[in-house]
Amino acid sequence: AERLACIRLLPKAELHLHIEGSLEPELMFQLAERNAIQLPYASVDALRQAYQFHNLQEFLDLYYQGMSVLQTEQDFYDLTWAYLQRSAAEGVIHVEIFFDPQGHLQRGVDFSVQIEGIYRALCDGETQLGISFRLILSFLRHLSEQSAFETLELAMPWLNRIDGVGLDSSELGHPPEKFARVFARCRELGLRVTAHAGEEGPPEYVWQALDLLKVQRIDHGNRALEDEVLIERLRNEQIPLTVCPLSNLKLCVVEDMSQHPILKLLDAGLRVTVNSDDPAYFGGYLQDNFAALLAHLPITDAQILQLIRNSFIGSWLSDSEKQACL
Ligand code: ADE
Ligand code: ZN
């Protein structure tokens, strides 16, 4: 309990957070009512009951359904503000959040509505809560290359507010190579690049993310452990891995928290960070993820401090900003 209290007090960064995945059932019901949308659940409790997943896709189905209540700029603001308030209370001082524009465009919600709401909350978070931020546009990999290019086109007027791009959604069957040209264009535009890889997908997808997308981070990366040569590459280049313990448990990427590979990844010398991914769906925010590690793994104080330091080192803050946090 004392160690957890210390972790809460330590300044931390979160690098892998889908803002739509922070939509708590209570807020989902409020927004559904505000927008006169009928949810297929009788109550907040019934909705929470449904959060039992056997794999990534089962989660994604509810995640895309859940985000349908997000309609107005104010909805996106309220969503983002709620996440920032919770994070501030846990000692988070820097966040790099994903949003999934295609998940909203498909429903007729303009790019401007999404980004205006999210960005206004992020700015308020910076001034009122002291949380610095980066914003990451994430492409949905189950959609086409063309759809990603169209989304990038819609984002062009807003590139001064977007720091980088990511790649998420259904991993199996949608290898990074599908988006090599989109990511090349994003890099030309000066955007930073990251991608989900090795969550459910094989080590080959992590190789592709590195070699074809030329990513600066890997989101998840668990399955890299199946490939020694890949581990060596990740260690040599000190590629940050944004690992998400509670997510891995809820999506059955690991059988049990005591089986989580995070200590193996750390022991292999990789730049591992702890993150919450989709906290409203996976049973907790950043602090809860640390609590789960402490409860089930023989993690040392030095390892905890390393994970927290890595969250700044692996961030997209400038070197001088990082120095101020380390
Ligand atoms: N979208 C939201 N969370 C995700 C995850 N953990 N993996 C892939 N796509 C996602
Ligand atoms: Zn994710």
pLDDT in tens, the chain (326 residues): 799 999 999 999 999 999 999 999 999 999 999 999 999 999 999 999 999 999 999 999 999 999 999 999 999 999 999 999 999 999 999 999 999 999 999 999 999 999 999 999 999 999 999 999 999 999 999 999 999 999 999 999 999 999 999 999 999 999 999 999 999 999 999 999 999 999 999 999 999 999 999 999 999 999 999 999 999 999 999 999 999 999 999 999 999 999 999 999 999 999 999 999 999 999 999 999 999 999 999 999 999 999 999 999 999 999 999 998 88
Q: Report the interhelical angle of 111-124 vs 145-155 (nearest 10°).
A: 60
For residue 267, report the distance from its CA to the centre of ligand 2, in Å. 23
Question: Between the CA of residue 109 and those of 73, 75, 77, 211, 242, what are the distances in Å?
Answer: 9, 11, 14, 34, 29
Between vectors from CA 225 to CA 249 and to CA 233, what angle results, nearest 5°?
A: 135
**pLDDT on residue 326:** 85
Q: Where are the beta strands (DSSP E) in 142-222?
A: 164-168, 192-197, 217-220
- 255 an active-site residue? no
Contact yes or no for 202/144 (Cβ under 8 A): no
CA dist 324 and 326 (Å) reads: 6
* Structure confidence by residue, pLDDT tens digits, 233-268: 999 999 999 999 999 999 999 999 999 999 999 999
**pLDDT on residue 41:** 97
CATH of domain 2-315: 3.20.20.140
For residue 167, report the distance from its CA to the centre of ligand 2, in Å. 9
Task: List all residues whose CB is within 6 A of at least one atom of ligand 1.
Answer: 18, 21, 56, 63, 168-169, 196, 199, 247, 277-278
Query: Closest Cα partner for 293 from 245, 230, 254, 233?
Result: 245
Residue 2 CB neighbour total at 10 angstroms = 6
Contact yes or no for 218/194 (Cβ under 8 A): yes
What ipTM describes this predicted complex?
A: 0.98
* Burial track 68-93 (b if 16+ CB lie within 10 A, e otherwise): bbbbebbbbbbbbbbbbebbbebbbb
Q: Domain residues of the chain, as ranges? A: 2-315
* Given 199, 204, 255, 321, the catalytic residue: 199
CA dist 22 and 101 (Å) reads: 15
pTM over 0.95: yes
